[in-house]
Amino acid sequence: MKEFVYTAPATRVVFGKGAIKHVRNEIELLGVHKALVLCTPRQSAAAERVASAMGDRAAGIFAQAEMHVPIEIAQEAREIARQLGADCAVAFGGGSTIGLGKAIALDSGLPILAIPTTYAGSEMTPIFGITEKGLKRTGKDPRVLPRTVIYDPDLTLTLPIGLTITSGMNAIAHAVEGLYARDGNPIMDLMAEEGIRSIARALPALKHSADDAVARSDALYGAWLCGTVLGNVGMSLHHKLCHTLGGSFGLPHAEVHTIVLPHAIAYNACAIPGALVRIERALKTDNAATSVYDLARSNGAPYSLRQLGMVEADLDKAADLAVANPYWNPRPVERSGLRALLQRAWDGTRPE
Ligand code: NAD
């Protein structure tokens, strides 16, 4: 076995159908008094219910979370938390809302209790992103890692089916890259394989019936595992491409992950035999790249960058940006291979 370093994740996780009922108790266990609930405008009615479960521990609701965490919104939320005397933030929603919580924590030190309602996994990572003057700055800081996470599958029942599938694929992408991370370790490998298995089982069931309680639970459990992997080991080419396509071309996060992943796996396949064994065992297949493509496409997800409205002429620029400052990758990243990968992702070709 190769040498490894393993640091146990520091977040308390409370998982279960109806687990939101523990929110007040969990706030008290953090040793804080009042929490500001964060959410997007779209989730404000559900956030009201979270606040009422918090009783007198709720300081108020800030329902203006947005994609990419604009710094002005983070500053406003921080100021409102101060005015209301909140000493904790409850981030209720997907990666955008949890990102807002992280931006508040970064310079106020307020602890975050996260209640994720998508499968993006931000709640399990110390990674933050803040957009200032049109530029997204990202970094890692242990202060932004939520102290407690409540996973309640009932809160994901309202997640539209399209986002359910792409968000699940986004989670699978974290696990796939974790399996060939340079700083990987055997615990993350176990979590990654189980995360892929659990989500891959859940997605077709949810496509069939979006309120299947067992599948919602499987998907959220898988999201926790995959998010933990994302928070603990380094990501490679796939994440670099997705950050480039999302950041420089404004393409939607979960959809881009869904489209690029099979092509990133195919690109790396010759260099990742151990990871392929685990991915293929989890997917019950002998071809990881095609199975990932089929899992997404057969459940109605977009499968080409063209469908997202990306202009073909931008593929050269995307390839230039992605090779300019590459993340470590198991197979060396060279421009012509990357350009061909992007072309296949744009065309939506099924990998062989
Ligand atoms: P999102 O948070 O942007 O949510 C998308 C939309 O779905 C929002 O309008 C939201 O209100 C709505 N929504 C979420 N859950 C819902 C539910 N259960 N029912 C109904 N509507 C719901 O999407 P996301 O994919 O979770 O997050 C993407 C963002 O998170 C990106 O900006 C990405 O960079 C970031 N992210 C960060 C990390 C990290 O570690 N820092 C990890 C993953 C993602």
Return the CATH number of the domain spanning residue range 12-155.
Answer: 3.40.50.1970
Which residues lie closer than 8 Å to 315 by C-beta, 6 or more apart? 339, 342, 343, 346
> Is residue 107 over pLDDT 90?
no
Residue ID of nearest Cα to ligand 1 atom 15: 117
- Residue 278 CA to residue 229 CA, distance in Å, equals 14
pLDDT at 135 > cutoff 90:
no
Q: How far is the CA of 338 from the centre of ligand 1 (A)?
A: 27
Query: How far, in Å, from the CA of 289 to the mean position of ligand 1?
Result: 25
pTM, rounded to two decimals: 0.98
191 and 225 Cβ atoms separated by less than 8 Å: yes
Phi-psi group of 312: left, alpha or beta (phi > 0 → left; psi -120 to 50 → alpha; rest → beta): alpha
The Å distance, Cα 286 to ligand 1 centre, comes to: 32
Fold type of domain 161-347: Dehydroquinate synthase-like, alpha domain (1.20.1090)
CA of 145 to the centre of ligand 1 (A): 16
- Which residue type sits at 69? V
151 CA distance to ligand 1 middle (Å): 15
Whether 188 and 181 have beta carbons less than 8 Å apart is answered as: yes
Q: What is the CB < 6 Å shell around ligand 1?
A: 40, 42-43, 67-68, 93-97, 99, 117-118, 120-122, 125, 127-129, 155-156, 158-159, 163, 167, 230, 253-254
pLDDT of residue 115: 99
State the closest ligand 1 atom to the C-alpha of 166, by its place in the atom list counted from 1. Answer: 25
**No. of helices (H) and no. of strands (E), the chain:** 13, 8
pLDDT in tens, 141-187: 999 999 999 999 999 999 999 999 999 999 999 999 999 999 999 99
State pLDDT tens for residues 44-65.
Answer: 999 999 999 999 999 999 999 9
Consecutive H or E run containing 37: strand 35-38
Total length of the chain = 352
Residue spans per domain, the chain:
12-155, 161-347
Indicate if the pLDDT at residue 325 is higher than 90.
no
